[in-house]
Amino acid sequence: MAEFIYGQSSKSARLATHPSSRTCSEGGCSTTLSIYNPSAYCWLHEPLTPRSRFSPKRRLTR
């Protein structure tokens, strides 16, 4: 019987990472950003972007 392994294959691309110890670019904010966060801002200070109702869901209000 064949053996199946579910999930990403070993040949798949890795997640993009960014330098550690980055902080939010908003003045006065000292939040340390995740290495997986591509933005220069933390969640609280990330500028809102209008989305189509057909695009993937993203929270628009804070």
Total domains present in the chain:
1
Distance CA 40, CA 33 (A): 8
23 in a structural domain: yes
6 in a structural domain: no
Q: Is the Cβ–Cβ distance between 23 and 30 less than 8 Å?
A: yes
Nearest to 16 by CA among 41, 39, 45: 39
40 in a structural domain: yes
Domain range spanning residue 23?
18-45
Using a cut of 0.75, tell me whether the model's pTM lies above it.
no
Distance CA 37, CA 21 (A): 12
Q: Is the Cβ–Cβ distance between 19 and 34 less than 8 Å?
A: no
Helix extents (H) in 1-62? none
The pLDDT tens digits of the residues spanning 2-56 come to 666 666 665 556 788 888 889 999 999 999 999 999 999 999 999 888 877 776 6
